[in-house]
């Protein structure tokens, strides 16, 4: 009898991470790891550690836990559940690879996942950070972990996807999700793309994130056969006091409502899977604010999640980098 040999090639889908439970304690653990990453907050550690642990986390954790509770599912946090399901579907579509998922913060931890694969005899690892647009704050932080593992295991071939905001299959997948929504519900008066923001200072210092959001938006407009100016591009989820990328999503939506726009279609092409920032901030809070300002409906178009188009886009992205 012939035994099939275990795959020597692994693909690791990496997402940001999310709390283990919708409780203040779990949110505190998650946020303290996330917000102590110098890629995310660049303040001097001696100043930032006490500010974060003594002021920000005690205040923010219960408030944010409440937000997570509003979107929590039987399978846990939506970000974790969708990422897990996506990895399982990619595994079925790519049987020649061993597919794993990992989180940059929290569990399953990226470094441990990579060490586990190496211990199992894998000798080639492709890492796909699930961020279509590169940012030092997200993809850069995944690269930091991979760099440490690479130094420890020079015999392993590591490849890390930098970005995929212009990958034709990904662009087409987002365009198809918008087309399907228009077919089902009719086209709203305004199409708006809301990306997670970052501090403007980072972009001034060379972070290509804003340029990637712009270029991806132009590519999706082209795939839809509409003008780039038919799409409003905004940034959401500001954290802290710095000026972040503009225009901000919420005031833009409120102004649209005041200007008489009744229906707005909102897509979040920076998020691979639905999460707190899309389900709670956009589809709940911002939708309510749009209506309170005089709008009729904010129609949220879901992320690619674990759909076929996402699985195919990932196959194409990994294939292009193999």
Ligand X SMILES: C=CC1=C(C)c2cc3[nH]c(cc4nc(cc5[nH]c(cc1n2)c(C)c5CCC(=O)O)C(CCC(=O)O)=C4C)c(C)c3C=C
User: Shortest approach of ligand X to residue 139 CB, angstroms?
Assistant: 9
**Angle subtended by helix axes 110-119 and 139-152, to nearest 10:** 30
Structure tokens at 68: 């997570």
CB atoms near residue 54 (< 10 Å)? 10
H/E stretch holding 10 reads strand 9-15
| CA torsion, ordered 240, 215, 298, 314, to nearest 10 deg | -100
- CA gap 107, 22 in Å, rounded: 15
Task: Give φ, ψ of 128 to 5 degrees.
Answer: -115, 100
Helix (H, G, I), strand (E, B) or coil at 292: helix
Stretch that binds ligand X, among 221-229, 248-256, 257-265, 273-281 (CB under 6 A): 273-281
CA 69 vs CA 34, 73, 109, 219: distances in Å:
19, 9, 23, 36
Q: Is there binding between residue 237 and Fe ion (CB under 5 A)?
A: yes
Window of 87-95, 118-126, 129-137, 154-162 that interacts with ligand X by CB under 6 A? 129-137
Rounded to 5 degrees, φ, ψ at 159 are -130, 140
Which residue among 143, 265, 274, 281 contacts Fe ion (CB under 5 A)? 281
233 binds, among ligand X, Fe ion, none (CB under 5 to 8 A by kind): none
Structure-block tokens of residue 90: 């990619």
Q: Output the smallest distance, CB 64 to Fe ion, in A.
A: 8
Q: DSSP letter string over 37-98? A: -TTT--S-HHHHHHIIIIIIHHHHHHHHHHHHHHH-BTTBSHHHHHHHHHHHHHHHH-TTSE
Q: Does residue 135 interact with ligand X by CB under 6 A? A: yes
Instruction: Quote the least distance from Cβ 312 to ligand X, whole Å.
Output: 21
For Fe ion, the binding residues in 249-278 under the rule CB under 5 A are 277
In the region spanning residues 109 to 128, those forming contacts with ligand X, defined by CB under 6 A, are none
Does position 239 interact with ligand X (CB under 6 A)? The reply is: yes
Residue placing its CB nearer to Fe ion in the complex, 170 or 244: 244
Q: Is 277 in the site for ligand X (CB under 6 A)?
A: yes
By CB under 6 A, residue 275 contacts ligand X: yes
In the complex with ligand X, the residue whose CB is nearer, 79 or 233, is 79
63-82 residues in contact with ligand X (CB under 6 A) are 64, 77, 79
CB under 5 to 8 A by kind: which of ligand X, Fe ion, none does 268 bind? none
Q: How far apart are CA 224 and CA 171, in angstroms?
A: 10
Stretch that binds Fe ion, among 107-115, 140-148, 280-288, 299-307 (CB under 5 A): 280-288
- The least distance separating ligand X from the CB of residue 166, rounded to whole angstroms, comes to 17
If one asks whether residue 270 binds ligand X (CB under 6 A), the answer comes out as yes
Separation between Cα atoms, residue 245 and residue 234, nearest integer Å: 8
- For ligand X, the closer of residues 149 and 198 by Cβ is 198
281 contact, one of Fe ion, ligand X, none, CB 5-8 Å limit per kind? Fe ion
Q: Report the interface residues with ligand X, using CB under 6 A.
A: 16, 18, 31, 40, 60, 64, 77, 79, 131, 135, 137-138, 196, 198-199, 237, 239, 270-271, 275-277
């Amino acid at each position: 009898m012939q035994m099939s040999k275990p795959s020597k090639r692994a693909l690791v889908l990496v997402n940001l991470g999310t709390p283990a439970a919708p409780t203040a304690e779990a949110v505190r653990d998650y946020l303290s790891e996330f917000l102590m990453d110098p890629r995310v907050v660049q303040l001097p550690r001696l100043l930032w550690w006490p500010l974060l642990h003594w002021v920000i986390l005690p205040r923010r954790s219960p408030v944010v836990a409440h937000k997570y509770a509003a979107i929590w599912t039987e399978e846990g946090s939506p970000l974790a559940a969708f990422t897990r399901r996506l990895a399982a579907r990619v595994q079925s579509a790519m049987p020649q690879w061993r597919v794993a998922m990992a989180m940059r913060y929290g569990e399953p931890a990226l470094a441990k996942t990579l060490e586990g694969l190496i211990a199992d005899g894998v000798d080639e690892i492709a890492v796909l950070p699930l961020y279509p647009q590169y940012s030092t704050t997200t993809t850069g932080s995944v690269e930091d972990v991979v760099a440490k593992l690479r130094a420890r295991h020079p015999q392993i071939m590591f490849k890390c996807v930098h970005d995929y905001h212009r990958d034709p299959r990904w662009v087409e997948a987002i365009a198809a999700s918008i087309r399907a929504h228009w077919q089902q519900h009719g086209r709203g008066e305004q199409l708006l793309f809301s990306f997670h923001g970052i501090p403007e200072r980072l972009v001034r210092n060379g972070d290509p994130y804003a340029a990637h959001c712009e270029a991806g938006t132009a590519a999706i407009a082209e795939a839809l056969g509409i003008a780039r100016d038919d799409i409003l591009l905004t940034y959401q989820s500001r954290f802290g006091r710095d000026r972040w990328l503009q225009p901000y999503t919420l005031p833009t939506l409120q102004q649209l409502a005041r200007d008489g726009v009744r229906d707005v279609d909102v897509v979040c092409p920076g998020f691979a899977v639905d999460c707190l920032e899309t389900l709670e901030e956009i589809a709940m809070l911002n939708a309510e604010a749009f209506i309170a300002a005089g709008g009729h409906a904010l129609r949220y178009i879901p992320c690619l999640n674990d759909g076929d188009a996402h699985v195919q886009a990932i196959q194409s992205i990994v294939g292009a980098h193999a």
